[in-house]
A = this chain, B = another copy of it.
Amino acid sequence: MLTNRQLQILQAIVDDFIMFAQPVGSRQISKKQEITFSPATIRNEMADLEELGFLEKTHTSSGRVPSEKGYRFYVDHLLSPQGINSRDIQQIQSIFNDRLVEVEHIIRKSANILSELTSYTSILLGPDVQTHRVKRFSIVPLSSDSAVAIIVTNNGHVENRMFSLPPNFAASDLEKMVNVLNERLVGVSLEDIHKKLEAEVLSVLQQHVRSADDFIHALVTATMHNSESKIFYGGKTNMFNQPEFHDLNKVRMILDLMETTSQVQSLFHPNESGIQIRIGSENKQLEMENCSVITTTYSIGEDQQGAIAIIGPTRMDYKRVVALLDVMRMDLTQAFTKNRSD
């Protein structure tokens, strides 16, 4: 168990390092207002804190730097909740000023403003389209052998995909088909569509239409590649500002990671609630060993979920980011619940 004085010193060191990105020396700490003891005392405590694994040295005679364990402790026990100032609040509010209701537009804007306010990189996951339910299904033929299938969901999202029509397809059957499809598919979630198509719709259609087999098959292939939640980025190059990323290789690895959808998705932890903080190697991705990732989720309507991530150096301003994310998730949730359709 740490003594009060150790807590105080650890906090001072982490705060200082977060601010200045320089190893912190005993003198530097002793000059702070809230610190009443001498550099020598602080040096002793520092040595203890280092032995306990909360601090590290870059070389024998350097100042101290928080270790991952140090950050973890800081985040878990020393992070006094902080309000955010009115300028920040105003900026966040500006996201919702436009009277446009489009979800995508709001999320895009949120990503930009979050990255501006934090000066880190933000990633926002849009709603998980897979759980949307079909509101209307329609098919528009383009030529004798191709057509577009369009699905409108209850949340106003539109999925569309081109597919090939069976070679000897009777155009006159199209209307019948669309009717059957609507009867059977409305209310079904996108992820269940192709199951439903094969299990149920196929047999019904076979009674009405000749080339139903081929047709349904084409539809199934078209709806198979389920579109994942859209990803929005803000401040992709913000990390260039951080001294720890004055290293092309690190930056490159992170940027590359951000181009890979699956990697980005695995940054999120949709099943945990509240605000998650992953520090350095707590992230599964090797590329992230110098980064911390703070994530949270927000609601879109009743059962839709989106997610937010902020990526910065382990020396991240946790206090501020947590506060901002807290406001953000609530504002987004509120905005999307108010405007949600049945």
Contact = CB atoms under 8 A, between A and B. Distances in A.
A148 interface: yes
Contact of A162 (B135, B156, B252, B342): B156
Interface residues of A, number: 32
Interface stretch (A49-57, A84-92, A137-145, A198-206): A137-145
A146 B101 contact: yes
A143 B301 CA distance: 14
Contact of A164 (B101, B138, B160, B161): B101
Contacts of A156: 142, 146, 148, 162
Nearest to A135: B140
Contacts of A148: 152, 156, 158
Interface string A149-187: 010101110101110100000000000000000000000
Given A142-B341, A164-B101, A152 B150 contact: yes
A158 B135 CA distance: 17
A240 interface: yes
Contact of A341 (B146, B161, B236, B251): B146
A79 interface: no
Q: Is the interface of A mostly helix, strand, loop or mixed?
A: mixed
Contacts of A146: 101, 156, 341
Contact of A140 (B152, B160, B246): B152
> What number of copies of this chain does the assembly contain?
2
B150 A158 contact: yes
A106 to B, nearest CB: 12
A133 to B, nearest CB: 12
A255 B252 CA distance: 11
Given A142-B135, A146-B156, A152-B148, A162 B246 contact: no
Nearest to A234: B259
Given A156-B162, A162-B156, A248 B240 contact: yes
Nearest to A145: B341
Contact of A252 (B138, B164, B240, B252): B240
A260 to B, nearest CB: 11
Nearest to A340: B143
B236 A259 contact: yes
Contacts of A43: none
A228 interface: no
A103 to B, nearest CB: 8
28 contacts: A101-B146, A101-B162, A101-B164, A102-B162, A135-B140, A135-B142, A136-B140, A138-B138, A142-B152, A142-B155, A142-B341, A143-B341, A143-B342, A146-B341, A148-B152, A148-B156, A148-B158, A150-B158, A156-B162, A158-B158, A236-B259, A237-B255, A237-B256, A240-B248, A240-B252, A246-B248, A251-B251, A255-B255
Interface of A: 101-102, 135-136, 138, 140, 142-143, 146, 148, 150, 152, 154-156, 158, 160-162, 164, 236-237, 240, 246, 248, 251-252, 255-256, 259, 341-342
Given A240-B248, A240-B252, 10 more contacts: A102-B161, A135-B140, A135-B142, A140-B152, A142-B152, A142-B154, A142-B155, A142-B156, A158-B160, A236-B255
